[in-house]
Structure 1
Amino acid sequence: MTIKEKINKFISEKKITHAEIGRGLNTSQQNVSRILGESGKVSLDFVVWLACEYPEIDLEKLIRDSDHVSIVRESPATYQKPRLKEKALEEIGAVLDKYM
């Protein structure tokens, strides 16, 4: 499964609309639909925002090319709200260092 497929599955299961994502990213629903559509590309900013908004997302499961279809952590996240973005970036960096 690709990163985009995993994200689409997650937002579908959580019943998150493209409009809600657009408001969070300060963009339009149409732009979110384009990004998550067939030819769109998911940016790092999008992934960081998603991980900050939904700390139950396991970034390693999202980024790693594996058979995992769920990107939800097996145990509850223990993030502290003020450091979410920094923590997400640290996790992305660690995963990329490990697999790239």
Structure 2
Amino acid sequence: MKIYEKIREYSKGKGETMREIAEKYGVTPQAIQMYFSGKNAMPLNFLVWYVEEHPDIDLYALFSKEHTQIVSEPRAEYHKKYRKQHVIDRIINILEEEL
């Protein structure tokens, strides 16, 4: 899958219209249609802008020929470090609720 195809499919999945993208980027909807159809090469500055607008896009997957999905996996949530006693108390609470 080519880069413009991946971006087009991603955009469809997000429910974006070419008019919305064009307005945000500052070009005509026809220009976006030409990028998304592959008739005109997608300018690098458009690609950079689009990725900045959509931080969930994984650049490695975008440029890889093997990947069709370009959304990165959700980042793991990191919680503050708890004291041992807090963890023990939580385990006890869970066990009491379940037993």
Structure 1 length-normalised TM: 0.69
**What CA distance in whole angstroms lies between the structure 2 residues aligned with 1:36 and 1:26?**
16
Shift of 1:47: 1.1
Contact between 2:4 and 2:38, CA under 8 Å: does it hold in 1?
no
Residues 39-77 of structure 1 deviation map (CA, whole Å, 9 limit, x = unaligned): 2211111111111111000011001221x111001124x
Computing the radius of gyration over CA atoms, which structure comes out larger, 1 or 2?
A: 2
What 5-or-longer segments of structure 2 have no aligned partner? 76-99
**What CA distance in whole angstroms lies between the structure 2 residues aligned with 1:65 and 1:43?**
19
Structure with the bigger RCO (C-alpha within 8 Å, sep 6+) is 1
What 5-or-longer segments of structure 1 have no aligned partner? 77-100
% identical equivalent positions: 32
Q: Does residue 10 of the first structure (1) align with residue 16 of the second (2)?
A: no
Structure 2 length-normalised TM: 0.70
Partner of 1:43: 43
Q: Does residue 75 of the first structure (1) align with residue 74 of the second (2)?
A: yes
